[in-house]
Amino acid sequence: MTTLYHNPRCSKSRAALAMCQASNQEINVRLYLNEPLTIEELTGILSRLNGPISRIIRTKDSKFKSVDSTMLNLEQVESIAEFLSLHGHLMERPLLDDGTTAVIGRPVENLNQLL
């Protein structure tokens, strides 16, 4: 089943939710801030991510500067998964994952390839 990793406080994520609801697909909505992702789940998402894995971290977010990122290697799946398991609020959103491919919805139209 296709999963939308959703943050209701984000306008792009709300737009993605509306797109998913308008599609013919059954979509599981995961509020990842309320139900944090495990390292294993993050590793799976990263292995399916369409595009550079470094895009999944919001490095330009002001909150990124306030966390310890000295051990983060943006080229290593394990490093990113561990970082996001601790700092899930810095995961780029919206994110749609059909179990084969994961797509970041920036712009939200990118999600159309899975809808």
Three-state SS sequence of 93-104: CCEEECCCCEEE
Which residue is it, tokens 């059954």?
26
- The CA distance from 108 to 94, in Å, is 8
Q: Annotated catalytic residue: which of 10, 29, 33, 77?
A: 10
* Contacts with 8 (C-beta within 8 Å, 6 or more apart), sequence order: 14, 17, 31
Residue 31 near residue 6, CB atoms below 8 Å: yes
20 is catalytic: no
Active-site positions read: 10
